[in-house]
Amino acid sequence: MNKTAFQYEPDYAIAPGEILEDTLQSRGMQKIDLAERCGLSAKQMSLIVSGKAPITPETAINLERVLGVSANIWNNLEARFRLHKARKLDYDVLSRYEEWLESFPLNELEKRGIIDKDDSKPKRIAQLLGFFGVGSVATWQERCKQLQVSFRRSPAFKSSVEAVVTWIRIGEL
């Protein structure tokens, strides 16, 4: 559910190691020299520069002292990079549930601003999970099994568990 008018979400992330490497090049410093000054092994520094190892807060403080670039910048770059990777992996998993998404009353959910019509299906699934207050489709399914409701049905209309659960949740909120 997108509450802001504009939200910038790039579809790429730059590894902090790339920026670290650019910083080293601009200062004419070698990775081995930086590793020694930060108290790290050459291998550890190489892993950081390649994006395979994270920049820890302690390393960020050392980089701040050696390079003069704020530890906050290194920590924020690292956090954004790891979050981007995790979100991409999450969307890859969610893309397997596109059929599940289609079982909901999407027009009504879009009309109420619960999910965005123009977003990709994995993003819409993530919005739907957020609407239900669960972290995964499996958790949603477990909670639905525990749901105990009583209501009348009309044989004239097709009823689905997803639609009923959606209306119950709208009523809760």
Q: What are the tens digits of pLDDT across the range 63-81?
A: 999 999 999 999 999 999 9
The last residue of one of the domains, among 66, 93, 120, is 93
Q: CB-hemisphere CA count at 13 Å for 117?
A: 7
Which of the two residues, 54 and 162, has the higher pLDDT score? 54
Q: How confident is the model over 79-89, as a mean pLDDT? A: 94
Residues 88 and 111 in one domain: no
Residue 3: what pLDDT? 56
Alpha-carbon span 90 to 87, nearest angstrom = 5
Residue 151: what pLDDT? 67
The last residue of one of the domains, among 43, 64, 93, is 93
Residues 128 and 167 in one domain: yes
The last residue of one of the domains, among 93, 117, 143, is 93
In a domain, 63, yes or no: yes
Residue 4 pLDDT grade (very low, low, confident, very high; cuts 50, 70, 90): low
The domain of 167 spans: 103-172
Which of 5-9, 43-47, 53-57, 160-164 shows the lowest per-residue confidence on average (mean pLDDT)? Answer: 5-9
- Interval 7-41: pLDDT, tens: 777 788 899 999 999 999 999 999 999 999 999 99
The separation between CA 46 and the C-alpha centre of its own chain, rounded to angstroms, equals 27
Residue 161: what pLDDT? 82
Per residue in 106-120, is it b (16+ CB within 10 Å) or e — as a string?
Answer: beebeeeebbeeeee
Residues 64 and 41 in one domain: yes
Residues 49 and 86 in one domain: yes
Residues 36 and 83 in one domain: yes
If one counts the domains in the chain, the total is: 2
Residue 159: what pLDDT? 73
